[in-house]
Amino acid sequence: MGETLTAKGRATRARIVEGAAEVLREQGVSFTRLDDIRDRTATSKSQLFHYFPGGKDDLLLAVAQFEADRVLEDQQPHLGRLDSWESWQRWRDVVVERYELQGDHCPLGALFLQVGRSSPGAQAIVTELMRQWQEQLARGVRAMQDKGLASPRLDTDRTAAALLAGVQGGVTIMMSTGDSTHLRAALDTGIEHLRSFA
């Protein structure tokens, strides 16, 4: 649908998605009704279904994409500049801070539970998010290798995959316990591993 929308239509759709994301973060997916989103975004029912013909499921997928994009945006500019040990440390601090502020409420996770992780749309969003995140980490590892700060023997994709798995595992434990110790340990150990190959 995005290809056929006018600039005004794209702006309206983006406004609805952003407003819906705010409502979902405040109230949770289970307690949010389409009427709540319509009230927040000053959108008529016909307008809502014009942009999201599949109703709530279509809108939830759009919000999931919005939240997935935010995961990477919140790590910038650090994630895009992993070319020194200081930049790796700044990235690590931003990731820890983001998830500590988020606490035990993960808007993206809640959305996927509602839409269903096995739905093709939801699966595609998660797959693309992880692909982009891992690719940026791998680019950072390569930047360190190019500067002679990390060993050329280091497998960049495998290292990036391990770092990403550490973040995801640490966040999952933090959401269950309220303690960011494991997230911090995973990131610190991953970066120490990268340094040890220098």
Q: Work out the angle at residue 122's Cα, subtended by the Cα atoms of residues 157 and 124, and round it to the nearest 5 degrees.
A: 40
CB 170 within 8 A of CB 184: yes
CB 156 within 8 A of CB 142: yes
Least-confidence region, from 1-15, 46-60, 75-89, 144-158: 1-15
Report d(CA 139, CA 143) in Å as an integer: 6
Q: Which residue, among 60, 53, 73, 65, has the nearest Cα to 24 in the 3D structure?
A: 60
Confidence check: pLDDT of 95 > 50: yes
Q: Look over the chain and give the mean of its residue pLDDT values, rounded to a whole number.
A: 89
List the structure tokens of 56. 């709530």
pLDDT, mean of residues 16-34: 87
Cα distances (angstroms) measured from residue 163 to each of 20, 112, 170: 31, 23, 10
Q: Look at residue 45 in the predicted model and tell me its pLDDT.
A: 92
